[in-house]
Amino acid sequence: MTSPAPILSLAGVRKRFGDHTALSDIDLTVGSGEILGIIGRSGAGKSTLIRCINGLERPDAGTVAIEGREIQALGESALKPVRRRIGMVFQHFNLLANRTAAENIELPLIIAGMARGPRQARVRDLLQLVGLEGREDRYPAQLSGGQKQRVGIARALAPEPAMLLSDEATSALDPETTEQILALLADINRRLGLTILLITHEMDVVRRIAGRVVVLENGRIAEAGETWRVFADPQAAVTKSLLGHDAAALPPGLVLAPGGSGEALIRIDLGGPDAGAPLLSDLGARFGASARILSGGVEPVGGVPVGRLFVGVTPARPDDLEPILAHLASSTIRTELLGHVVRAD
């Protein structure tokens, strides 16, 4: 049995505008049912990438395939049905102001030539799926930002696309509404097995729902991988800076002693299924050391705990510090002795 073609695959994609290279060497595969985040700062090439994926822009080199079908050489009429396989969700919703919520959702079905009966049944199902029952007759101006985006999502889902392409879909929403829309996307992904490509400039959006992330910088892929790994152990400078990961940062208010004894300040980067292990109580049980958390935290990234802790460890004997560090290093992503804490007394 051959495995199904990926929903989307890009190979060696390059796009130039004059002498400016907006995208180069883009290799990307999106498998069925996954949520992939694409993150980058302004100018990184996100819009150009979207335009290459939906056929609005032709790459200068490389291939873009949707469900195994290469689109870069297709003419407008051949592109149309392939484009319909990608549902677009936009930052500013792009709803028709003079049509109700239900009519906005119905429009792509009318264009697709669906008969009235099944069309209206489908609109009802979609309204229910996105939590808009009872609001079907409201016009966009009578809906909140979150409700408008629910209409946008339902409209994108109406033609049963193979993939949802979310272009900064939560960037115009407040944090609470962002949370609700991301929860809706995650729910749709789970319930329908729908593939979602999330384009964003916000790490938090990626952290909440993307299983995998691609970091774009200056038109190139700077880093890619499972979201929790990239968050727990970022490699590229741009990822570290997007994450606000300053490797040298000390928690506020802590001062390191010039000498080397007493309570050791240790920075621990945790991530992965083992991150919940009882690390600190281990230090007491194995080494008779006392350990306290001075700063930091652990939170789930794609369901996997990830975090950075600053821990003060007082070994029973100075010689214990080395084996303590080795023990911590064996069960964390990174353990680093930063120095010794100045005591207040």
Ligand X SMILES: Nc1ncnc2c1ncn2[C@@H]1O[C@H](COP(=O)(O)OP(=O)(O)OP(=O)(O)O)[C@@H](O)[C@H]1O
Binding site for ligand X (CB under 6 A): 17, 20, 22, 40, 42-48, 201
Between 199 and 324, CB nearer to ligand X: 199
Residue 311 pairs in a beta bridge with: 266, 293
Between 17 and 237, CB nearer to ligand X: 17
Between 72 and 189, CB nearer to ligand X: 72
Provide the 8-state DSSP code for 2: P
Between 61 and 250, CB nearer to ligand X: 61
In the complex, the smallest distance separating the C-beta of residue 170 from ligand X, rounded to whole angstroms, is 14
In the complex, the smallest distance separating the C-beta of residue 43 from ligand X, rounded to whole angstroms, is 4
Burial class (CB in 10 A: 0-12, 13-18, 19+), 212: buried
Closest CA to 240 of 203, 275, 272: 203
Burial class (CB in 10 A: 0-12, 13-18, 19+), 253: exposed
What tokens appear for 77 in the block? Answer: 């009429």
Between 48 and 100, CB nearer to ligand X: 48
Between 45 and 312, CB nearer to ligand X: 45
In the complex, the smallest distance separating the C-beta of residue 44 from ligand X, rounded to whole angstroms, is 4
What tokens appear for 267 in the block? Answer: 């920075």
Between 44 and 95, CB nearer to ligand X: 44
Q: How far is CA 313 from the centre of its chain?
A: 35
Strand locations in 135-237 (E)? 163-167, 195-200, 212-217, 220-226
In the complex, the smallest distance separating the C-beta of residue 204 from ligand X, rounded to whole angstroms, is 16
Can you tell me whether residue 184 is helix, strand or coil?
helix
In the complex, the smallest distance separating the C-beta of residue 332 from ligand X, rounded to whole angstroms, is 34
In the complex, the smallest distance separating the C-beta of residue 201 from ligand X, rounded to whole angstroms, is 6
In the complex, the smallest distance separating the C-beta of residue 245 from ligand X, rounded to whole angstroms, is 21
Residue 256 pairs in a beta bridge with: 341
